[in-house]
Each structure stands twice: as C-alpha cells, then as structure tokens.
Amino acid sequence: MNHKKRILITGTLLVSAILSGLLIHSRAEAVPAERVIHITAKKFDFSPDSITLKKGEPVVFEISSADREHGFNLRAFGVRTNVSSGKVSRIRFTPDKTGKFTFSCDVFCGDGHEEMTGTVIVTE
C-alpha cells in the first residue's frame, strides 16, 4: 500500500469514527437511559414507599406483588397498572413536573387497602 492510499484510508476511518461518535452522542442526548426502580406491593404497603426522581429523567417502575393482586396508580402522571403475584408489571414515564405526588393501590385488597399509599418526589 502506498503512502497516499494509507493516508486516505486513515482519513476515512478517522472521519467515520468522528461521525459515528457524533451519532452516538446525539442518540444519547435524544434518548437518555431509563432508570429502573423495583417496587414490591404487599398487604398493605409498597416498598419503597417513597421514591425520589429527577424531572426529565425517564424511569421504569418494575412492580411485583408478594401476595395477592394489587394496583399501582400514580394519577399525577396518568400511569397505572394491575400488579399480580408471580409477574412483573412495568410502567414507563418521564416526570415533567416537580413536587410530591401520591401513588396508591387501586385494587381493593383488604382491611388496610385504604392506607396502601406511597409518595413520588420529583426534584429539578
């Protein structure tokens, strides 16, 4: 391989590397990594029952039940799911406002159902 050809290939690879780097960077900006939070529901509480999130940070709640069917409802962000034992239920959302927001079980599960709540805190 002569010298000129070597320079051309090297230059092409360099440009490709720079472009793909830019591409990866722009993709990373467009789709930030989701933060995964595991939540366990059982009669009559959620664990954890206080979850702190950042505004604009995409999250996935992976919710499972340790006993019977429950519900998970975070009304402030319009997300809910049924939660059955032996199965992981997922909800995805990106908090678009700050504050303290209540989530609750919305599938009647017994005597302590009405106190089965938790809090999402969204910070800047």
Residues that bind other proteins (CB under 8 A): 69, 71, 73, 75, 82, 102, 104, 106-111, 113-115, 117
Specify the residue, 56 or 112, whose C-beta has the smaller distance to other proteins: 112
Q: How far is the CB of 50 from other proteins (least distance, A)?
A: 13
Rounded CA gap, 109 and 115, in Å?
11
Q: In terms of CB distance, is 54 or 68 closer to other proteins?
A: 68
Q: Encode 21-50 in three state secondary structure.
A: HHHHHHHHHHCCCCEEEEEEEECCEEECCE
Phi, psi of 35 (to 5 degrees): -90, 130
38: left (phi over 0), alpha (psi -120 to 50) or beta: beta
Count of residues in the chain: 124
- Smallest distance, other proteins to C-beta of residue 34, A: 26
**Cβ nearer to other proteins, comparing 49 with 62:** 49
Rounded Cα–Cα distance for residues 31 and 60 (Å):
14
Nearer Cβ to other proteins, position 56 or 99?
Answer: 99
Instruction: Give the H/E segment covering residue 5.
Output: helix 3-30
Shortest distance, position 43 Cβ to other proteins, whole Å = 9
Q: How far is the CB of 104 from other proteins (least distance, A)?
A: 6
